[in-house]
Amino acid sequence: MANAIESEGEKFLSRLQTAREEVRNRFSSAQRLLQEREAALLQQLQEIEDSYKQENSKLIVQKNVLLKTREQLQATLKGNENQTTLQSMLDPLNAKLREIEKEEELQRIELNWSREGELEYLLKEMGTIKLNKDIIPNKKDAPVLTACKYRENTTRSGEFKWPTVIAVHSNTNLYIIDPLNNRVQVFDKYCTFLFAFSGSMNHPAGICFHDDLVYVTQSEADKLNVYSTNGAFVESIGSRGDKKLQFKSPVRMCISETTNTIYICDKDNNRVQILNVNLTFNSFITKLVFPRDVKVTTDEIFILDKQNPCLHVFNHRHQLLHELISFGGKNSQIQDSYHFCLSTNSNILFTDTASNCVVVFSKGGEHIHKLGKKGKKEGEFLKPRGIAIGSEGRIIVASNNPEHCIQFFLQFPQN
């Protein structure tokens, strides 16, 4: 009997050893495959970088020649009697330099690069699980593009007195509200200025799209204006009051393409008013205190309210499901916010005007990341308000940063 038990034990140990060796061999094989995959990706990325440098070399040479010519002209300009003639030569030269710099920037963006080269993002997109940090530095919080200027008294195209709301039309053009100038400015996805429109505007505060129409709330006129996507005024509805199709300081808004309904934060009426896209009344969401912003998914309605304050989550029967992400307390990750957006990976992103940053939470309310800080450099913010997800999932943030008013960031992965 003892010999039989001993024999069975030896067989079990033998099978266990065989299983361990098989697991070890499989692990070693998987590890080799990962190393080969990483090496292949690094080689592929090096080829992309070499190709980029080769294609960009002509631009670099041309740019260097123009820079040298500009320096010579600027030196000659000082104290020269023919300043007008020289300046007329200098102006087109500067314009050509700006074109070259723009072309360089567009090439970098097409490759998802920052100014110093952003290879990590490409590696993640192509399937690498993890890279050694000393091989590829982590630059996820650096903007890949900044644009526009903030000036307190500007009326110039492409500049802002106060950029507040960013909306992306058909994943391409950016419509950015400039309320103190009573206008909406339109840019392409690289933030090159296209045009502005301002017909019948009185402090625009919210914007959304349906087909080829642009809906814009007018917070001081208590109206909802409708425009074509090229900025031509179409019609207007609303008046001051608390009845259906009346408003008191309507602000942020969004649209549900699933139900073809428009959700408008009717701030001083303490409600969200819901309209059909043909501008007929649909319903109200009430028992709110100060609705600041609203977003809708196929299943839920998210309303940023001053009550508590927090983010309220409703179902489409307007029943409160739960409250997320309270802010303003000593232990809160976010202090004050008027704007938020939903990312492509279901995160919730807020601009924090008090802490001058962007704060990211999971859909369940778990704090994930904080982006930026107070300052005037790239990647820093001053009273950030507008936030949106643009083409290729980039995060777009608007703030009163003088030289970097609109900033684009690569969307980082969820922790």
Q: What are the domain boundaries of the chain? A: 2-125, 145-409
Rg (the chain; Cα; Å): 28
* pLDDT of 135 higher than 50: no
Question: pTM higher than 0.85, yes or no?
Answer: no
Measured CA to CA, the distance from residue 42 to residue 135 in angstroms comes to 10
DSSP characters over 83-112: HHHHHHHHHHHHHHHHHHHHHHHHHHHHTT
Percent of the chain with pLDDT over 70: 76
* pLDDT of 276 higher than 50: yes
Measured CA to CA, the distance from residue 368 to residue 362 in angstroms comes to 7
* pLDDT of 189 higher than 70: yes
Residue that is written with structure tokens 């039309």 in the block: 169
Nearest to 240 by CA among 224, 221, 253, 263: 221
> Greater confidence, 135 or 37?
37
What confidence score (pLDDT) does residue 134 get? 35
* pLDDT of 69 higher than 90: no
Confidence band for 374, pLDDT divided at 50, 70 and 90: very high
Tens-place pLDDT, residues 90-104: 677 777 766 776 666
Q: Report, as an integer, the average pLDDT of 2-18.
A: 68
Phi, psi of 275 (to 5 degrees): -115, 155
Measured CA to CA, the distance from residue 292 to residue 307 in angstroms comes to 10
Measured CA to CA, the distance from residue 356 to residue 373 in angstroms comes to 5
Whether 240 contacts 247, CB under 8 Å: yes
What confidence score (pLDDT) does residue 130 get? 40
Confidence band for 331, pLDDT divided at 50, 70 and 90: confident
149, 272, 319, 357 from 304: Cα distances, Å: 28, 11, 15, 17
Q: What residues have CB less than 8 Å from 141, skipping those under 6 apart?
A: 371, 372, 379, 409, 412
CATH superfamily of the 145-409 domain: TolB, C-terminal domain (2.120.10.30)
Residue 380 one-letter amino acid: E
Phi, psi of 189 (to 5 degrees): -70, -10
What confidence score (pLDDT) does residue 117 get? 40
Q: Are strands 281-285 and 291-296 parallel, antiparallel or unpaired?
A: unpaired
* pLDDT of 114 higher than 50: no
Confidence band for 275, pLDDT divided at 50, 70 and 90: very high
Helix (H, G, I), strand (E, B) or coil at 159: strand
Count the neighbouring beta carbons within 10 Å of the beta carbon of residue 382: 16
Of the CA atoms within 13 Å of residue 384, those in its CB half-sphere come to 33
Measured CA to CA, the distance from residue 31 to residue 11 in angstroms comes to 30
Locate 187 and state its tokens: 């840019």
Phi and psi based region of residue 117 (left: phi greater than 0; alpha: psi -120 to 50; beta: remaining): left
Tens-place pLDDT, residues 205-240: 999 999 899 999 999 999 999 999 999 999 999 999
Nearest to 370 by CA among 355, 383, 354, 359: 359
> Greater confidence, 68 or 253?
253
Q: Report, as an integer, the average pLDDT of 135-145.
A: 64
What confidence score (pLDDT) does residue 346 get? 84
Element (H, E) at 45: helix 2-77
What confidence score (pLDDT) does residue 64 get? 75
List residues bridging with 296 in a β-sheet: 301
Locate 346 and state its tokens: 């279901």
